[in-house]
Structure 1
């Protein structure tokens, strides 16, 4: 199984420079869709419901204090992704990769997994939060999207 840093390195290798926030959101969407499509986690690390949307603290530790990231900036191995993992990430990138970090963050703010985690934590819109986003809620949300739209992200 890949790790979040491997997926992040794969994304940067595939589409090049982007903000750290955009990378976090693309990893989240790849995780969610992969969970729905393959019935298994893309990586073992979890996301937390931070103010700007889902964030993997493990990935954040890799890019802390950096705004823009490029291929080679994340210590991960893109080659460890198996065929199903690469396919999931590639579909997400082809459908969401052109969106801005702000657009992706706004999307997550309208979705139940992030909203529910923030509600559980009883925090305001801009408050710090380290509440984990529940995998079952992620699966339920993305599975419903897949059922409604087919395989497309």
Structure 2
């Protein structure tokens, strides 16, 4: 199984350089869609309900302090991705890579996985929270999107 760093490195190789926030959100959307399409997690690391949307702490530790990330910033190995993982990533990137970090962040704020995690933690809009988003919430939300789109 790939790691979040492998996935992030793949995204940067295909569409980098980009901001750290945009990379976080593209990893999140890739994780969610892959969970539904392939019925398995894209990587073992989890997302937390931070103030600016879902963030994977392990990825954050690698880019902390950097705003713009070049394609070789993280040291992950995109070669670890299998065909299904690459296909999921390519579909998500085709659909979302044109969006800005701010647009992607705003989208996550309107979606149930992040909202539910924030509610569980009792966090207000700008409060810090390390409450994890659950795979059950992510799968439920993305399944509804896929079903609505007829995918």
**TM-score > 0.5 by shorter chain:** yes
Consecutive aligned runs of 4 or more in structure 1 exceeding 4 Å deviation: none
Match of 2:70 in 1: 70
CA distance in 1, matches of 2:91, 2:55: 21
Q: How many residues align?
A: 151
Residue pairs, 1:3-152, within 5 angstroms: 3-151=3-151
Q: CA deviation at 1:61?
A: 0.4
CA distance in 2, matches of 1:75, 1:47: 20
Q: Deviations over 1:55-104 (max 9, x none)?
A: 00000000000000011101200111000000000000000000000000
> What TM-score, normalized to structure 2?
0.99
SS at match of 2:104: helix
CA distance in 1, matches of 2:56, 2:16: 20
> What TM-score, normalized to structure 1?
0.98
RMSD between aligned residues: 0.5
Is there any run of 5+ residues in structure 1 with no aligned partner, and where?
none
CA distance in 2, matches of 1:150, 1:62: 37
